[in-house]
């Protein structure tokens, strides 16, 4: 036999227990599961054993004759109805108590917002920052943003979906909850930190240096079927010791909400778009260049000619396959771009302003910041801007949800008042 | 000349009778139309057999396709330009498991026992000439064909898309339904964002549902109205109790599916906003509607199987069934409980903990009538004279599979453990043990058991036993390992998987190939039985009324109007070595007008 199988088998059972590593400080699953497993084993051996024994012991010798025996016995029937009922009652109560614990987050929980989308995850932390897309530590491939949590601290996840049903499943923490569009579901867990299986890694700090942290790495699966890449909607859960979590948390850079949009757009372009989209016309044979693109009228696409305006760019970022850009010589560039659902609306706005700045057909306002624009692109009046500013000075929640309500709106026509307030919240 | 070659068989008294054209239901009349427009329940049963087995074959092809994909689906096989993990790979897998599920559930498991064996045997067990409404029976067959054709459109459409799709797809393609990839459960909102194939699929399932409703209605009416003289509710064969309980579910639950599917189609085509969260609808509401039918549907699949096994266990133990009333009432109890447990499919959906607790408790209660049946079968075997022919091996295989399938329902009914196991391979293995393992084994056992009656020929016993062993091993290898994969956290409906699950998937796929070999052997055995030994009227010694007529039965079923007696009292049938079957002394036959009372 191929020895890789043996290696794989060894990996499957890293502990002596049947289930995967238990990283949960409040495991409600394993002990009941073992209890049920033992009950199942006893009944299976009893039933199958009796069946096989009877088949051998009472096997027919001659085809003549019939067997005579009791045709009913009420006492026996009642006995074998009541005994299972008793066992079932124990299992029910045990399971229900565990479930109550599983579904009641403690009051001191640490809150993280989770957004599921086709096909990835987005995590928003109490300071308003999102964890960034990273590479899978095992395969080195690109991976959706991961979930970073502190150990020994109840963590409450608030779940929402941008599109269809998803489900968060972290097997080592024994938790699962569906992510349902149109409602907020909640789940919680408290993780152990396991020194033996932890990995050491360095992460960049905000100041430009690096810092070493150690953390446990677990898998996060989507367990509700959600279409084409359902089986690839995986990411990692990183569990840090509390002091290391502080280091990681401090390393998360919050974008300064007063950054001019053009500057913000340029930063995003240089990190996420530049490899395909040039701004000087180069590489146009393979990917559309942004040079002089904004403001083009009658731009050929797979869905007919369109004007390259804010709405078209917004759609091309959120849903790239809707209107594939046409090549100069005919045909389209093909369906090569993945959607970017985890860019906030402000970041999309920034990209649009940046595209304007590299196009002769439009003029970007280099000093523009978020909330200064009306939906039609004109500047807002003085009074509206001040109103927004006042709202920002009051008590506002710590977690801005800038990218939540708008994400469902394909053309970005969100409520302008709401945008103003959110921008103000972010500034708070 | 041997007995097999001569057109001679024996009647229930062991008297030789010469076979003449037109004296049984198969050769009663000739021509395609005599079949297509037949009102004979036995012929309708045979037509169901052909198309339902064809569906089983198709569903099986998809099962093998997806298990074969899973041989290669490990994450380490995925690179930027590999076929594994590409959009095509994932789409093919998603379509394969969707069509596998939809075909197997709606076109195979639900109709298998009621439509084939039920149609064939129910009027015979009642000593009746036919079901109560023969025309309705034919109509339900054509409903099945219509629904099957709609689902078939999807399959053809998927093939056309595969052939002509791509960069420069011709315009007409957009009018042809593409393959369906929503899963057989059609969960919203994914199913309302998918293409027009969902409308085809829901309409297909809708029409198939009517086939099921009409059959159920017919069976209820037949059992109420056509019981023979001497047969009351409590000396009916237990197969009839099982079919009765099934029919009750069919006529009460299936209309809910019809309504749900219509609402889904309306949501898809018109955007009425009942399930779509963007329009203020609730996607979880769809799950409640869907499982309000589809959980009882699980009992539509398993209850007739329980009935078949009750018959086989008693006849092949040569002993009266133990605990008749408890088995009969437990069928009704399962049917009743089956209606009030649907919420256990939504334990992780965010419904209130109180609702979860109620559904958990109610779900547990189903275990009790199920356990009662198993214990009663074991008590029937106790001190019996057990003959281990193929039908009995399938019945015993059923007990093994049903016990495992039932017991693994416990960690899924208990709340805290279900949270962990929900939507993993543990669930996949559990429902395959119950729906496929148990129902398929009971169906195959029932087919072998009534095969002599249906076709008047004996199948090859030795091949039957070998094929049983292969299917039994193949099934357990395929699905037992999935319990382990599930406890290790392998999620279901995954086209690709983490490397740590490779071993489980490879073993499971190997098992599915073994199972396929066994199933092909069974089919060959049945076809070869065309030249098999002619069957006596009663090869197994049962006293149910279907054994009180020739094999195969004449068009009008019985020579005399039969009289019902205790179906599990076998003592009047004497073994006749010459014909390897059981014969009745004419003086002990209460149906015979010239009958002289013996006791």
Q: Using one digit for the tens of pLDDT, what is the confidence trace for A229-240?
A: 999 999 999 999
Q: Measured between alpha carbons, how far is B526 from B532 in angstroms, rounded to an integer?
A: 9
Answer yes or no: is pLDDT of A215 > 90: yes
Q: Measured between alpha carbons, how far is B163 from B455 in angstroms, rounded to an integer?
A: 42
Of A70-74, A271-275, B419-423, where does the model show the most confidence?
B419-423
Alpha carbon B34 to chain centroid distance? 27
Q: pLDDT over 90 for what percent of chain B?
A: 76
Contact of B167 with chain A, judged by CB distance below 8 Å, is answered with yes
Q: For residue A41, give Cα distances in angstroms to A26, A37, B537.
A: 26, 6, 43
Chain B CB contacts of A62 under 8 Å are: 575
Q: Are residues A36 and A144 in the same domain?
A: no
Chain A CB contacts of B410 under 8 Å are: 36, 39-40, 88, 91
| Band of pLDDT at residue A374, cut at 50, 70 and 90 | low
Domain interval for residue A34: 18-50+77-104
Amino acid A411: pLDDT: 42
Cross-chain residue pair B413–A91, CB shorter than 8 Å = yes
Contact of A36 with chain B, judged by CB distance below 8 Å, is answered with yes
Answer yes or no: is pLDDT of A389 > 50: no
| Band of pLDDT at residue B23, cut at 50, 70 and 90 | confident
Cross-chain residue pair A102–B419, CB shorter than 8 Å = yes
Burial annotation B358-394 (CB, 10 A radius, 16+ → b, else e): ebbbbbbbbbbbbbbbbbbbbbbbbbbbbbebbbbbb
For A102, nearest residue in chain B (alpha carbons) = B416
Residue among A353, A376, A371 nearest A418 (CA): A371
Looking at the complex, report in whole angstroms how far the Cα of residue B404 sits from the nearest Cα belonging to chain A: 7
Residue among A100, A15, A225, A108 nearest B419 (CA): A100
Cβ–Cβ under 8 Å, residues B364 and A92:
yes
Cross-chain residue pair B384–A11, CB shorter than 8 Å = no
Ramachandran class of A152: left when φ > 0, alpha when ψ lies in -120 to 50, beta otherwise: left
Cross-chain residue pair B423–A334, CB shorter than 8 Å = no
Q: Are residues A270 and A408 in the same domain?
A: yes
Residue among A130, A93, A101 nearest A401 (CA): A130
Cross-chain residue pair B500–A174, CB shorter than 8 Å = no
Looking at the complex, report in whole angstroms how far the Cα of residue A223 sits from the nearest Cα belonging to chain B: 6
Contact of B86 with chain A, judged by CB distance below 8 Å, is answered with no
Q: Measured between alpha carbons, how far is B60 from B291 in angstroms, rounded to an integer?
A: 24
According to DSSP, the residues that pair with A199 across neighbouring strands are: A215
Q: Which of B367, B415, B491 sits opposite A88 (nearest CB)?
A: B367
Residue among A418, A406, A372 nearest A259 (CA): A372
Radius of gyration (C-alpha) of chain A in whole angstroms: 29
CA dihedral defined by A353, A355, A357, A359, rounded to 10 degrees? -140
Residue among B67, B55, B116 nearest B93 (CA): B67
- Window 45-64 of A: residues touching B by CB (8 A cutoff) are 47-48, 50-51, 54-55, 58-64
For B542, nearest residue in chain A (alpha carbons) = A66
Determine the residue among B174, B420, B581 to mutate to test chain A binding: the one whose Cβ has the most chain A Cβ atoms within 10 Å. B420
Amino acid A391: pLDDT: 38
Q: Measured between alpha carbons, how far is A329 from B46 in angstroms, rounded to an integer?
A: 62
CB pairs under 8 A between A and B: 290
Answer yes or no: is pLDDT of A418 > 80: no
The pLDDT of B42-50, averaged and rounded, is 97
Q: Which of A36, A77, A229 sits opposite B411 (nearest CB)?
A: A36
Q: Are residues A310 and A348 in the same domain?
A: yes
For A35, nearest residue in chain B (alpha carbons) = B411
Chain B CB contacts of A94 under 8 Å are: 414, 416
- Does A63 or A272 have the greater pLDDT score? A63
In a domain, A152, yes or no: yes
Answer yes or no: is pLDDT of A218 > 70: yes
- Window 198-227 of A: residues touching B by CB (8 A cutoff) are 219, 221-227
For A92, nearest residue in chain B (alpha carbons) = B414
Answer yes or no: is pLDDT of B561 > 70: yes
- Does B410 or A298 have the greater pLDDT score? B410
Q: Measured between alpha carbons, how far is B132 from A154 in angstroms, rounded to an integer?
A: 64
The pLDDT of A182-206, averaged and rounded, is 89
* Cβ-based neighbour number of residue A50 at 10 Å: 18
Chain B CB contacts of A32 under 8 Å are: 411, 414, 416-417
Tell which of A227, A251, A275 closes a domain: A251
What six digits make up the tokens of A161?
């979906």
Q: Measured between alpha carbons, how far is B63 from B470 in angstroms, rounded to an integer?
A: 18
Contact of B596 with chain A, judged by CB distance below 8 Å, is answered with no
Q: Are residues A402 and A323 in the same domain?
A: yes
User: How would you class A110 by CB atoms within 10 Å of its CB: exposed for 0-12, middle for 13-18, buried for 19 or more?
Assistant: middle
Cβ–Cβ under 8 Å, residues A180 and A161:
yes
In a domain, A59, yes or no: no
Chain B CB contacts of A221 under 8 Å are: 489, 491
ipTM of the complex: 0.91
Q: Which of B385, B386, B487 sits opposite A18 (nearest CB)?
A: B487
Cross-chain residue pair B419–A171, CB shorter than 8 Å = no
Phi, psi at residue A175, to the nearest 5°? -125, 150
Q: Which residues contact B452 (CB under 8 A, 6 or more apart)?
A: B458, B535, B536, B539, B551
Cross-chain residue pair B385–A61, CB shorter than 8 Å = yes
Q: DSSP string of B15-56?
A: -EEE--TTSSTTTSS-SHHHHHT---HHHHHHHHHHHHHHHH
The pLDDT of B214-221, averaged and rounded, is 96
Cβ–Cβ under 8 Å, residues B424 and B489:
yes
The pLDDT of B277-282, averaged and rounded, is 89
Q: pLDDT over 70 for what percent of chain B?
A: 97
Amino acid A250: pLDDT: 84
Looking at the complex, report in whole angstroms how far the Cα of residue A75 sits from the nearest Cα belonging to chain B: 11
Q: Measured between alpha carbons, how far is A31 from A44 in angstroms, rounded to an integer?
A: 20
Contact of A229 with chain B, judged by CB distance below 8 Å, is answered with yes
Read off the DSSP letter of residue A24.
Answer: B
Cβ–Cβ under 8 Å, residues A261 and A349:
yes
- Window 256-285 of A: residues touching B by CB (8 A cutoff) are none
For the segment B143-191, what is each residue's pLDDT rounded down to a tens digit? Answer: 999 999 999 888 888 888 878 776 666 777 777 787 888 999 999 899 8
| Band of pLDDT at residue A403, cut at 50, 70 and 90 | very low
Q: Measured between alpha carbons, how far is A28 from A38 in angstroms, rounded to an integer?
A: 17
Amino acid A11: pLDDT: 47
Alpha carbon B243 to chain centroid distance? 12
**Terminal alpha carbon distance of chain B:** 41
Long-range contacts of B264-269 (CB under 8 A, 24+ apart): B264/B186, B264/B188, B264/B191, B264/B192, B264/B198, B264/B202, B265/B198, B265/B199, B265/B202, B265/B203, B267/B188, B267/B192, B268/B191, B268/B192, B268/B196, B268/B198, B268/B199, B268/B202, B269/B199
| Band of pLDDT at residue A425, cut at 50, 70 and 90 | very low
Q: Measured between alpha carbons, how far is B11 from B548 in angstroms, rounded to an integer?
A: 9
Chain A CB contacts of B422 under 8 Å are: 176, 223
Read off the DSSP letter of residue B287.
Answer: H
| Band of pLDDT at residue A33, cut at 50, 70 and 90 | very high
Looking at the complex, report in whole angstroms how far the Cα of residue A246 sits from the nearest Cα belonging to chain B: 30
How many domains does one find in chain A? 3
- Does A151 or A320 have the greater pLDDT score? A151
Cross-chain residue pair A88–B423, CB shorter than 8 Å = no
Q: Are residues A81 and A173 in the same domain?
A: no
Contact of A110 with chain B, judged by CB distance below 8 Å, is answered with no
Cβ–Cβ under 8 Å, residues A178 and A167:
yes
Amino acid B541: pLDDT: 93
Q: Are residues A98 and A127 in the same domain?
A: no
Q: Are residues A363 and A298 in the same domain?
A: yes
Element (H, E) at B264: helix B238-270
Cross-chain residue pair A99–B419, CB shorter than 8 Å = yes
Alpha carbon B550 to chain centroid distance? 27
For A185, nearest residue in chain B (alpha carbons) = B350
Looking at the complex, report in whole angstroms how far the Cα of residue B494 sits from the nearest Cα belonging to chain A: 5
Determine the length of chain A: 428
Q: DSSP string of B465-519?
A: HHHHHHHHHHHHHHHHHHHHHHHTT-BSS-SSB-GGGHHHHHHHHHHHHHHHHHH
Q: Are residues A404 and A298 in the same domain?
A: yes
Q: Which of B87, B364, B497 sits opposite A92 (nearest CB)?
A: B364
Amino acid A56: pLDDT: 94
Contact of A79 with chain B, judged by CB distance below 8 Å, is answered with no
Burial annotation B181-200 (CB, 10 A radius, 16+ → b, else e): bbbbbbbbbbbbbbbebbbb
Q: Which of B193, B378, B415 sits opposite A96 (nearest CB)?
A: B415
Looking at the complex, report in whole angstroms how far the Cα of residue A167 sits from the nearest Cα belonging to chain B: 8
Cross-chain residue pair A171–B503, CB shorter than 8 Å = no
| Band of pLDDT at residue B553, cut at 50, 70 and 90 | very high
Residue among B141, B131, B140, B139 nearest B51 (CA): B141
Q: Measured between alpha carbons, how far is B271 from B517 in angstroms, rounded to an integer?
A: 47
CATH of the domain at A399: 1.10.760.10
Contact of B325 with chain A, judged by CB distance below 8 Å, is answered with yes
Q: Which of A77, A92, A225 sits opposite B372 (nearest CB)?
A: A77
Looking at the complex, report in whole angstroms how far the Cα of residue A363 sits from the nearest Cα belonging to chain B: 36
CATH of the domain at A152: 2.60.40.420
Rounded to the nearest integer, the mean pLDDT of chain A is 79
- Does A103 or A381 have the greater pLDDT score? A103
Rounded to the nearest integer, the mean pLDDT of chain B is 92
Cβ–Cβ under 8 Å, residues B514 and B442:
no
| Band of pLDDT at residue B88, cut at 50, 70 and 90 | confident
Q: Is it true that domain B8-588 has CATH number 1.20.210.10?
A: yes
Tell which of A200, A222, A251 closes a domain: A251
Contact of B570 with chain A, judged by CB distance below 8 Å, is answered with yes
Looking at the complex, report in whole angstroms how far the Cα of residue B242 sits from the nearest Cα belonging to chain A: 19
Cβ–Cβ under 8 Å, residues B599 and B572:
no
């Amino acid at each position: 036999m191929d020895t890789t199988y043996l290696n794989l088998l060894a990996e499957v059972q890293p502990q002596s227990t049947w289930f995967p590593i238990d990283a949960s400080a409040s495991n409600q699953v394993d002990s009941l599961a073992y209890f049920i497993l033992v009950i199942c084993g006893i009944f299976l051996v009893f039933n199958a054993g009796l069946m096989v024994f009877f088949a051998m012991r009472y096997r027919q010798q001659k085809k003549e004759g019939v067997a005579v025996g009791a045709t009913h016995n009420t006492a026996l029937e009642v006995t074998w109805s009541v005994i299972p009922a008793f066992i079932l009652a124990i299992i029910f109560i045990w399971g229900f108590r565990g479930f109550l614990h599983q579904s009641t987050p403690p009051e001191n929980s640490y809150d993280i917002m989770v957004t599921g989308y086709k096909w990835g995850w987005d995590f928003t932390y109490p300071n308003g920052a999102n964890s960034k897309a990273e590479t899978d530590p095992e395969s080195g491939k690109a991976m959706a943003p991961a979930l970073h949590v502190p150990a020994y601290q109840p963590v409450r996840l608030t779940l929402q979906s941008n599109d269809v049903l998803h489900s968060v499943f972290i097997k080592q923490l024994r938790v699962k909850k569906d992510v349902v569009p149109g409602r907020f579901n909640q789940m919680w867990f408290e993780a152990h930190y396991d020194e033996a299986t932890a990995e050491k890694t360095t992460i960049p700090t905000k100041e430009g240096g690096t810092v070493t942290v150690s953390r446990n790495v677990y898998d996060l699966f989507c367990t509700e079927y959600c279409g084409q890449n359902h089986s690839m909607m995986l990411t990692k859960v990183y569990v840090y010791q509390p002091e290391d979590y502080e280091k990681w948390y401090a390393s998360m850079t919050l974008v300064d909400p007063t950054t001019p949009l053009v500057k913000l757009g340029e930063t995003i372009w240089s990190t996420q778009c530049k490899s395909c989209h040039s701004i000087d016309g180069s590489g146009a044979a393979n990917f559309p260049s942004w040079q002089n693109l904004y403001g083009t009228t009658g731009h050929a696409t797979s869905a007919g000619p369109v004007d390259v305006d804010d709405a078209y760019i917004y759609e091309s970022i959120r849903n790239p396959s809707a209107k594939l850009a046409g090549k100069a010589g005919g045909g389209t560039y093909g369906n090569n771009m993945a959607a970017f659902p985890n860019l906030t609306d402000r970041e999309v706005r920034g990209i649009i302003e940046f595209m304007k700045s590299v196009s002769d057909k439009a003029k970007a306002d280099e000093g523009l910041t978020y909330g200064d624009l009306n939906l039609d692109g004109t500047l807002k009046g003085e009074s509206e801007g001040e109103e927004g500013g006042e709202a920002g000075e009051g008590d506002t929640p710590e977690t801005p949800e800038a990218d939540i309500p708008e994400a469902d709106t394909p053309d970005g026509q969100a409520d302008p008042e709401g945008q103003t307030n959110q921008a103000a919240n972010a500034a708070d | 000349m041997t007995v097999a070659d001569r057109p001679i068989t024996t009647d229930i008294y062991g008297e030789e009778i010469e076979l003449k054209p037109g004296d049984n239901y198969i050769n009663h009349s000739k021509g395609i139309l005599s079949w297509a427009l037949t009102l004979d329940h036995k012929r309708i049963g045979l037509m169901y057999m052909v198309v339902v087995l064809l569906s089983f074959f198709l569903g099986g092809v998809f099962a093998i396709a997806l298990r074969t994909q899973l041989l290669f689906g490990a994450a380490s096989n995925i690179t930027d330009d590999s076929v594994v993990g590409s959009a095509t790979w994932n789409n093919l897998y998603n379509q394969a498991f969707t069509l596998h599920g939809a075909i197997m559930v709606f076109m195979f498991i639900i109709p298998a026992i009621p439509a084939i064996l039920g149609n064939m045997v129910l009027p015979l067990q009642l000593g009746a000439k036919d079901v109560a409404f023969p025309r309705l029976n034919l109509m339900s067959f054509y409903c099945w064909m219509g629904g099957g054709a709609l689902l078939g459109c999807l399959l053809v459409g998927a093939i056309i898309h595969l052939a002509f799709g791509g960069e420069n797809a011709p315009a007409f393609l957009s009018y042809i339904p593409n393959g369906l990839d929503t899963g057989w459960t059609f969960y919203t909102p994914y199913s309302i964002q998918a293409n027009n194939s969902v409308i085809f699929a829901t309409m297909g399932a809708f029409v198939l549902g009517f086939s099921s409703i009409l059959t159920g209605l017919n069976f209820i009416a037949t059992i109420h109205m056509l019981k023979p003289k001497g047969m009351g509710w409590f000396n009916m064969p237990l197969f009839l109790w099982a079919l009765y309980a099934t029919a009750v579910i069919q006529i009460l639950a299936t209309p809910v599916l019809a309504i749900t599917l219509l609402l889904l189609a309306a949501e898809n085509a018109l955007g009425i906003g009942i399930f779509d969260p963007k329009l203020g609808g609730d996607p979880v509401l769809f799950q409640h509607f869907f499982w309000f039918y589809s959980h009882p549907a699980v009992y539509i699949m398993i209850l007739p199987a329980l009935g078949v096994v009750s018959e086989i266990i008693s006849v092949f133990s040569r002993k009266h069934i133990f605990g008749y009333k408890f088995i009969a009432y437990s069928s009704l109890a399962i049917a009743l409980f089956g209606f009030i447990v649907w919420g256990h499919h939504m334990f992780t959906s965010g419904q209130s903990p109180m609702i979860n607790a109620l559904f958990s408790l109610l779900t547990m209660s189903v275990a009790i009538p199920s356990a009662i049946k198993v214990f009663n079968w074991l008590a029937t075997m106790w001190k019996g004279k057990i003959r281990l022919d193929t039908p009995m091996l399938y019945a015993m295989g059923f007990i093994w599979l049903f016990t495992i399938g039932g017991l693994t329902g416990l960690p899924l009914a208990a709340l805290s453990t279900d949270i962990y196991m929900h939507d993993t391979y543990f669930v996949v293995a559990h429902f395959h043990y119950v729906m496929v393992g148990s129902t398929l084994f009971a169906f195959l056992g029932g087919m072998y058991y009534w095969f002599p009656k249906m076709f008047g020929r004996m199948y090859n016993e030795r091949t039957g036993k070998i094929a049983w062993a292969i299917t039994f091993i193949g099934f357990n290898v395929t699905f037992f390992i999935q319990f382990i994969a599930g406890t290790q956290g392998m999620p279901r409906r995954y086209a690709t998987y983490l490397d740590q699950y490779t071993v489980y998937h490879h073993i499971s796929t190997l098992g599915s190939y073994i199972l396929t070999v066994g199933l092909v052997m069974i089919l060959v055995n049945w076809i070869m039985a065309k030249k098999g030994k002619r069957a006596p009227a009663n090869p197994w010694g049962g006293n149910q009324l279907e054994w009180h007529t020739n094999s195969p039965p004449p068009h009008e079923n019985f020579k005399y109007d039969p009289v019902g007696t205790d179906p599990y009292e076998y003592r009047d049938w004497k073994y006749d070595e010459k014909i390897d079957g059981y014969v009745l002394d004419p003086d002990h036959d209460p149906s015979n007008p010239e009958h002289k009372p013996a006791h």
